[in-house]
Amino acid sequence: MELADFKVLTFDCYGTLIDWESGIWHALAPLVARSGGSRVRDAALEDFGRHEAAQEEATPAMPYPQLLSEVYQRLAREWGVAATRAEADRFGASVKDWPAFPDSAAALQYLKRHYRLVILSNVDRLSFRSSNARLQVEFDAVYTAQDIGSYKPDPRNFEYLLRRLREDFGLARPDILHTAQSLFHDHVPAQRIGLATAWIDRRHASSGWGATAPPPGTPKYDFRFDSLAALAEAHQNAT
């Protein structure tokens, strides 16, 4: 299996292209401070990841800004901190402020010359719009949890992806390389449905799972890179 074997790269966005952990941590800073300020970044992110996954499973049709607002209130209760609905809603609207990884835009611009680029994201279209501007590339298609009515790792999201790629572009399963950071949200369900995957291991220098829930079992993947720039370089070196 080679990178050049594929016709389309399907991307998770948050954690893969957008540095959501930095964005989440910055947006949670006031709540962390009011809880005593003793929580380190990774511990706070792990709490977020646990509550986000639980909320996504409990309310699969809830729009992502509202879901983030609920997660904020869950965190406040767990940390013993009072939080207003306005504060929670500000956190829910913070996706637009989350930064892109420094290598994302340039790597995507290179990859766009060789593949179709498609987003499969757990957010809503409005939230993604600001992120798309930071990424400085035109995606061939954007499929969100808002469109599908469920959140990854629900297999429905990947079934939707396969159906739309077939109907919209005439692409089949062997044409697709799903490219993502989260083993929990992306690699486990993508591999189960028979997709090849490339792990962008953004947390390679850190321990633990950060803002994503721990994956079940021993996840498999077909390629692994420390960054999106490393994937682009590997493709360039192979061609």
SS (H, E, C) the chain: CCHHHCCEEEECCECCCECHHHHHHHHHHHHHHHCCCCCCHHHHHHHHHHHHHHHHHHCCCCCHHHHHHHHHHHHHHHHCCCCCHHHHHHHHCHHHHCCECCCHHHHHHHHHCCCEEEEEECCCHHHHHHHHHHHCCCCCEEEEHHHHCCCCCCHHHHHHHHHHHHHHHCCCHHHEEEEECCHHHHHHHHHHCCCEEEEECCCCCCCCCCCCCCCCCCCCCCEEECCHHHHHHHHHHHC
111 shares a domain with 13: yes
Beta bridge mates, 120: 143
> pLDDT above 90 covers what percent of the chain?
91
198 shares a domain with 132: yes
The structural domain count of the chain equals 2
From 97, 122, 141, the end of a domain falls on: 97
Residue range(s) defining the domain that contains residue 82: 20-97
- β-strands 223-225, 116-121 pairing: unpaired
From 64, 97, 130, the end of a domain falls on: 97
pLDDT tens-digit profile, the chain (239 residues): 899 999 999 999 999 999 999 999 999 999 999 888 778 999 999 999 999 999 999 999 999 999 999 999 999 999 999 999 999 999 999 999 999 999 999 999 999 999 999 999 999 999 999 999 999 999 999 999 999 999 999 999 999 999 999 999 999 999 999 999 999 999 999 999 999 999 999 999 888 899 998 998 889 999 999 999 999 999 999 87
Catalytic residue set:
12
137 shares a domain with 76: no
198 shares a domain with 119: yes
Predicted TM-score (pTM) of the model is 0.94
Query: In whole angstroms, how far apart are CA 138 and each of 16, 39, 119, 132, 184?
Result: 17, 38, 11, 8, 27
From 97, 115, 133, the end of a domain falls on: 97
Q: Domain containing 81 — which CATH number?
A: 1.10.150.750
Note whether 47 and 81 are within 8 A (CB).
no
149 shares a domain with 79: no
172 shares a domain with 108: yes
Q: Domain containing 177 — which CATH number?
A: 3.40.50.1000
Average pLDDT, the chain: 95
Instruction: Give residue 208's pLDDT.
Output: 87
Q: Is the dihedral of CA 222, 117, 24, 185 positive or negative?
A: negative
In tens, the pLDDT along 186-226 reads: 999 999 999 999 999 999 988 889 999 899 888 999 999 99
103 shares a domain with 15: yes
Instruction: Give residue 17's pLDDT.
Output: 98
**Hunting for tokens 């954007």 — which residue is that?**
142
Find how far residue 224's CA is from the centre of its chain.
16
Note whether 210 and 48 are within 8 A (CB).
no
90 shares a domain with 24: yes
129 shares a domain with 218: yes
Rounded distance between C-alpha atoms, residue 220 and residue 222, angstroms? 7
171 shares a domain with 69: no
